[in-house]
Each structure stands twice: as C-alpha cells, then as structure tokens.
Structure 1
Amino acid sequence: MSNTEASRARARAAAVMVLLLAAPACRQDMFNQPKVKPLARSDFFDDEMAARPPVEGTVARGELRADRIFFTGIGPDGKFVAALPVSLTRALLLRGRERFDIFCSPCHGRVGDGRGMIVERGFKEPPSFHIDRLRTQPIGYFFDVVTSGFGQMSSYAAQVPPADRWAIAAYIRALQMSQHAPLQEVPARDREAIEKVRSQADGAEGGSAPPAEARR
C-alpha cells in the first residue's frame, strides 16, 4: 500500500470515528417528553386545562402590590391622586432631590425649567414644570409619568422604585412652590435674605432700590 493510500485510509477511519462519536449527540433526550405549553389543552387533568390556578397561600414574585394608590398614583375614582400617599418629611424631599438630580435633571434641569444638559447638546427642550398646565397637575400625575413615560420620555419604572417615584414627585412639587411662593409666606429670616439679594441686584443695575413695601 502506497503512502497516499495509507493516508486516505487513515483519513476515512478518522472521519468514521468522528461520526460515531457525534451520533449520540443527535439524540433528542428530554426534548421529546410529555409536557404542556401555557394555556394549551392537557389530557392529564380532568378539566383538560394545562394552566392551573395557584394553590392557596401562594405569594406573588416581587412585592405585594395591595396598595393601589401607592403603586399607581390613581385613586378609586380612576383619577390621579392629589395627596401624597406617604409622609412628607425632610428626608423624603432630600431623597427626591437626589433622585431628581440623577434621573431628571439631565433633561428637565436642576430647577425644573426644562433647560437640562441635553438641551445644550441640541436635543428638544422638555416643558418646564413651572408652566400652568403642570403646576395644576395632581401629584399622582408626576408619579405616573415616571412610571409609564410621556411623549419622548421613556418609562423609568425599571430604574426608579415606587418609593423613589413619590420622593421625586414630592420634590417636583417643592420646586414648583419655590418658584411661585408669595413673599409673605417665606419665613422672616429667609425673607430678609431675599430682600438683601434683590436690593443688591437693583443697585448693580444702577438704580436705587425702592422700599420693600413698595415692591410688594
């Protein structure tokens, strides 16, 4: 037998060996087995329904969403709630400011005027939170927008849990109040600081500042 014939024989033997080794991998194993598909018919159960009701005491995966208002922002009447369903505390507002600065300010700006960083990069300017249409919206509306998205804004439900959505909604309301609060509602100490800044601004423009009573 020549060397060429010997090489061909070895090649054929190797090919046969590979096929023999690969043959077991072609078995279906558990692929072809008795099973049911969701909502399909099944002869195993008397009612012929493959989908079975959960057994008594079954706990849903994730959070138990028994509080509809907290998880949707919608009341029994089907409208957005006007009252915050959690306690309004300083800690809540601080948390809301932190989350707002992370997730909202790139588009809406740090003060909610719609002049965030994306606008400086040429993207469309979102509406200001200080326009009448948004100032009159109930607080549940802002929770729903964070949850579901609105217009070009995508849903943030995956990034922001419900508790943080309410914190953000509360902080948005605080931003709105900060831009439209009557001067007489400002604490006396802060009012004096505001008057001082206004006087300095008026003086910088070259005119004498009128008395505070006259400006009110």
Structure 2
Amino acid sequence: MTRALIALMLLLPVSACDQMSHQPRYDSYEPSSLFADGKSMQAPPDGAIARDDPERLAALQQKPAMSLGLIERGRERFDIYCTPCHDHAGYGQGAVPARGFPHPPSFHIARLREAPSSYFVDVITQGHGVMYSYADRVMPADRWAIAAYIRALQLSQDPPVAALSPDERAKLGEGGS
C-alpha cells in the first residue's frame, strides 16, 4: 500500500508537465489582437541588423587605417570583452583563469607577435580553443579596433630598440633600468 502511494505521488507531478506542450500560440500570418496592427508576425525593431548583413560582412573584410581613435576604441572594447581572460596587459592572467578555467596564451609570445592582425579578428569572430565566438557581441569594425589595440599592447611590452630615445638606449647599454 505504501509503495503504491509513493509511486502515485511520484507520477502525479510528471502528468502535470504536459500542459507546457499545449500552450496557446500564433502561426506566422495569423491575425492577433495582441498587437495594435492586428498581425502576429512583427517587423524587427529599428536598428536590428541581420548576422549576414552585407555591410556588416564588408566591414569585417576591410582593415581600417591605423589611428589613435582606432586604438582608443580597441582599448575600450578590449577592456570590456577581453580582460576577464587576457588581463589588462594581455598576458592571459585574467580573473576567469584565476578561478580555474584554462589560461589563454599571452599576446606577447612569438607566435602571436608574428601573427597578422587578421588572425585576431578571425579568433574574435570564430573563437579558438576554449574561447567561444564573439561575433554576436563585437561589431566587425570593433574587432579590427581590438586587433589594433593588441598590437599596441605587444609594442608596449617589448618595444624595438630603434623606437627608444638616445638617452633610453644609453641606459640599456649601461644595464640600467
């Protein structure tokens, strides 16, 4: 008797779940009193952009000219999307890996220093390894801006000697800091 009661109690909630599959809905072109225009299928809101929009895809193919504004925009976007994993200096020591997730590679390793900027744009677009795609979050022009900022980070951490002033080169020759 007790087993039958327990079995009945366990089956009772499962039988109630079928109500989810019988919810009211509208077909695409069916009239609806829900919206003011009487249609169930509504136009996308103003400013909505399709993923395969030709202008958006064209922006992905066109590398913009390097400028201070581009680097500043890249820094802003990098701080928002990239620093949780890559940290502010690009060494891959962000807050996410500090909590047990895999460490991304440092942007300062030789392989990534030698990679073309389009590589970074492609990784942002497609994802790589455990990094998922940011194509739905980062606009194509901003992907190029992030790539430009990564180049600035790489340069800031290992500037070529030719870029140093004569005084700074003299300090290097002395073994100075």
**In which range does the TM-score fall when normalised by the shorter chain?**
0.5 to 0.7
- Aligned equivalent of 1:27: none
Residues 1:135 and 2:113 are matched in the alignment? yes
| 1:71 to partner: Cα distance | 1.9
| Letter of the 1:165 counterpart | R
Q: Is the 8 Å Cα contact of residues 72 and 144 (structure 1) preserved in structure 2?
A: no
TM superposition score normalised by structure 1 = 0.52
Q: Is the 8 Å Cα contact of residues 92 and 105 (structure 2) preserved in structure 1?
A: yes
Who wins on radius of gyration, i.e. which is larger? Answer: 1
Residues 1:114 and 2:114 are matched in the alignment? no
Residues 67 and 102 of structure 1: is their aligned pair in 2 closer, same or farther, counting only changes over 3 Å?
closer
- Aligned equivalent of 2:174: 214
| 1:124 to partner: Cα distance | 1.4
Residues 154 and 66 of structure 1: is their aligned pair in 2 closer, same or farther, counting only changes over 3 Å?
closer
| Letter of the 2:159 counterpart | A
| 1:92 to partner: Cα distance | 0.7
Alpha-carbon RMSD across the aligned residues, in angstroms, is 3.1
CA distance in 1, matches of 2:165, 2:126: 37
Residues 66 and 149 of structure 1: is their aligned pair in 2 closer, same or farther, counting only changes over 3 Å?
closer
Name the SS of the counterpart of 1:97 in structure 2.
Answer: helix
Structure 2: 5+ residue stretches without partners = 1-26, 29-48
Q: Is the 8 Å Cα contact of residues 74 and 147 (structure 2) preserved in structure 1?
A: yes
| 1:120 to partner: Cα distance | 1.7
Q: Deviations over 1:165-215 (max 9, x none)?
A: 000011011111111212441357xx66xx9xxxxxxxxxxxxxx955322
Q: Is the 8 Å Cα contact of residues 74 and 145 (structure 2) preserved in structure 1?
A: yes
- Aligned equivalent of 1:182: 160
Name the SS of the counterpart of 1:123 in structure 2.
Answer: coil
CA distance in 2, matches of 1:164, 1:122: 29
CA distance in 1, matches of 2:172, 2:107: 29
Residues 1:64 and 2:42 are matched in the alignment? no
Structure 1: 5+ residue stretches without partners = 1-29, 32-59, 74-84, 196-209
Residues 88 and 149 of structure 1: is their aligned pair in 2 closer, same or farther, counting only changes over 3 Å?
same
| Letter of the 2:60 counterpart | F
CA distance in 2, matches of 1:156, 1:187: 39
| 1:88 to partner: Cα distance | 1.1
- Aligned equivalent of 1:167: 145
| 1:137 to partner: Cα distance | 0.5
Name the SS of the counterpart of 1:181 in structure 2.
Answer: coil
TM superposition score normalised by structure 2 = 0.63
| Letter of the 1:64 counterpart | P
| 1:104 to partner: Cα distance | 0.4
CA distance in 1, matches of 2:173, 2:147: 35
How do 1:46-125 and structure 2 match up within 5 A?
63-65=53-55, 70-72=59-61, 85-125=63-103
Name the SS of the counterpart of 2:54 in structure 1.
Answer: coil
Name the SS of the counterpart of 1:122 in structure 2.
Answer: coil
Percentage of matched positions with identical amino acids? 47
| Letter of the 1:115 counterpart | Q
Q: Is the 8 Å Cα contact of residues 72 and 143 (structure 1) preserved in structure 2?
A: no
Residues 153 and 72 of structure 1: is their aligned pair in 2 closer, same or farther, counting only changes over 3 Å?
farther
